[in-house]
Structure 1
């Protein structure tokens, strides 16, 4: 099977847009935009994030032992584009877009995100061009708004369905 056909098929899958962040041992922050994030277990709270092994995030996480997954809201498309490399900003300069704070683990957390999950690294699994980060969630911060999603090469937002009475 061709990878082009596989990629075309995966572009049809809607994905929540997240920015995965971490820091070097010296506290230098890095991040990247990703849609390959999912829950792993509720007991203990754990999640999976898949990142290209050539990224700074993949290189810093093994030493720092921590990372965060920031699930972006509709108003944070500029953050998503910046951390996807769609602007001229690179490395820690990307954190000049949006508002950021640090909490429990010391990694950057996006203010205004729908949810931010700070994780302690539990395991890394190598698989071809990517690594799978398995993290135990040590803190969750919840926000409000509509989800920013990625579908067929574009960012979009969908409002939450109204609750049935």
Structure 2
């Protein structure tokens, strides 16, 4: 392999390698009423603090992607170690779809009328500042307009294809 020859890897090798990167488990949510949509994601990353911004990567085949593009707004909920069932629900477990996913937890709305999970470790409301399409996903850059914090518990993480509680290193 030379610098001009890209490394060829299989999707399975890529996915296995990525499973070794622990990620915070979040819900990416958008919309109001019957138009609410949401999904579980670990592809969320801080971008800059000036202005406060983050990025989320959303599969273009998902209803959540379409709704974020339509609304121009979304919110990110950082889940705690006690929210495993909610993470599974928003990942599609049980076949629940659309706004029905929001029936199983205590939700309110932030000032921008985006969903807020009451008790989330962090809930961040964002306006879409930019987008980029990469393969099967849309990368949404969100400028953060509101933050609500409840940091009493530990974050839920996903690593090695399983949910895990964050614990201090020995």
Q: TM-score, with normalisation over the residues of structure 1?
A: 0.92
Name the CA distance, whole Å, in 2 between partners of 1:140 and 1:159: 25
Give 1:98 deviation, angstroms. 1.5
- Which entry has the higher C-alpha Rg, 1 or 2? 2
Pairs aligned (count) = 161
Q: 2:28 aligns with which of 20, 30, 33?
A: 20
Give 1:27 deviation, angstroms. 5.9
1:67 maps onto 2:66 in alignment: no
Gaps of 5+ in 2: 1-8
Cα-Cα RMSD? 1.6
Alignment of 1:129-144 (within 5 A): 129-143=136-150, 144=152
Q: 2:133 aligns with which of 126, 134, 148?
A: 126
Name the CA distance, whole Å, in 2 between partners of 1:15 and 1:58: 20
1:9 maps onto 2:47 in alignment: no
Give 1:62 deviation, angstroms. 1.6
Name the CA distance, whole Å, in 1 between partners of 2:118 and 2:80: 10
Q: Which runs of 4+ in 1 moved over 2 A?
A: none
The alignment partner of 1:74 has SS state of coil
Gaps of 5+ in 1: none
